[in-house]
Amino acid sequence: MAILINEKPHKKLYLRPLHVFGRNPLKADTPLSNSDASQIHASIRWNGKIWEIIDHSRNGTMVDGVRIKAPI
């Protein structure tokens, strides 16, 4: 398990080994309220060595203001 910390409100989020973010509360572990977010926007997974973030959106996913590359 890992903990993701949102620095602005200083909230902790406990990540599952495969953790999904998106607007659809039935499919996402962490629902997003931003209208620019996709139903299933991105996921974070532990591959046994490192955490990987995967973009599932059409709009792209940003981490610290940098757009991550979408999977091929």
Query: Hey, which residues does 63 pair with through a beta bridge?
Result: 66
What was the pLDDT predicted at 25? Answer: 95
For 47-68, give one letter per residue: b (16+ CB within 10 A) or e.
eeeeeeeebbbeeebeeeeeee
What was the pLDDT predicted at 72? Answer: 61
Sheet holding 51-55, edge to edge: 30-31, 18-22, 42-46, 51-55
Residue 22 or 6, more confident: 22
The mean per-residue pLDDT over the stretch 52-58 comes to 92
- Cα–Cα distance, 40 to 12 (Å, whole number): 21
Contact present, 30 and 41 (Cβ < 8 Å): no
Which band of pLDDT confidence, cut at 50, 70 and 90, is reported for residue 8? confident
Give the chain's mean pLDDT: 90
pTM of the model as a whole: 0.84
